[in-house]
Structure formats: C-alpha cells, structure tokens
Amino acid sequence: MRSFVIGWIGWVAFAACGGAAVRGAEEPAGPVETEPAGEAVVATPDPAQLDDIDAEFEAKQKMVVRCYVEALESGQVVKGSRGKVLLTMVVSADGHARDVKVVSDTLGSADVARCVVARVLAWDLPAPGADVAFTYQYSFDP
C-alpha cells in the first residue's frame, strides 16, 4: 500500500493509502455488499492492471482533497476532524467505476463521502478489459 501526504496551504494535510483490488478469497475490512446476480467480476485480475488503476487514483488525489477542504470551509466538517473513507467498487472493462460504495467512514461526514463517490464515478480509469473489484481508502488528517 502506498502512502502520500499533500500539504494544503499549511493547514490541511491529506494522506491517501493506495488502493488494492480484492484478490481471490481475500475480503476487505468491514461489511461489503455483494454484487447483484448477473454482475461478473473477475476473481483474479492482472496485478499490472490493478497497479494502473491504483496509480490513476493517486494521480487524482487533489480532487478528493477538494471535497474535504470544501467541507471544512463550509463548516460541514469541524476543523481538526480526521478519519478515513474506504470505498469498494467495480471498475468496468471500459474503465469506469460503478457500484461505488462507502464501506467505512470514520471521518463521519456524509458530505465528504458523497463528494468522493461523485468524483470517482466521473473519472476515466485505465480499462482493465474485464470487470474487476477494487478497494481504495482515503485518509484525511489535518
């Protein structure tokens, strides 16, 4: 898992822990909703494809930082709040996230969680060629 810290004008720092696809029988921490019947998810995706998707999430970190900063500026999040938002999703064969779910939100901000999900749904991701399950965690730390 990769970790990054981005300073935000000296008063906000953001760390994003690298995402990892759900592999084989491994389960991500916390409750995870199963995919609806008929939704095919590749059980053993190519690790290189997962690295490409992970790198794209890392490259788009500033967009997620903005969700947190906007919530701070509007008072939706109390200054000094910290926590993690864990997402699960399916990255479709054509490189778009779908079925994005917040599995855990220790930040406790529905506004930040909704913003993060909306951003992820809008992104163009590397096309893995088949549907893959993917998990990614963002850590917010002032």
pLDDT-derived band at 17 (thresholds 50, 70, 90) equals: very low
Is the pLDDT at 54 greater than 70? The verdict is: yes
Domains (ranges, CATH) in the chain?
3-23+42-141 (3.30.1150)
Determine the Cα–Cα distance for residues 75 and 78; give it in Å rounded to an integer: 6
Task: List the structure tokens of 22.
Answer: 């759900």
Task: List the structure tokens of 70.
Answer: 């906007």
User: In angstroms, how far apart are the furthest CA atoms of the chain?
Assistant: 48
Torsional sign, CA 29, 72, 66, 4: negative
Task: List the structure tokens of 54.
Answer: 């992970």
- On whether the pTM is more than 0.85, the answer is no
Tens of pLDDT, residues 91-104: 999 999 999 999 99
pLDDT-derived band at 46 (thresholds 50, 70, 90) equals: confident
Strand 132-141 and strand 97-105: the pairing is unpaired
Identify the pLDDT of residue 87: 97
The crossing angle, in degrees rounded to 10, of helices 61-74 and 47-59 is 40
Identify the pLDDT of residue 32: 36
Determine the Cα–Cα distance for residues 137 and 87; give it in Å rounded to an integer: 6
Task: List the structure tokens of 127.
Answer: 């096309």
Is the pLDDT at 3 greater than 60? The verdict is: no
Residue range 42-65: average pLDDT?
A: 88
Beta bridge partners of 133: 90
Is the pLDDT at 62 greater than 80? The verdict is: yes
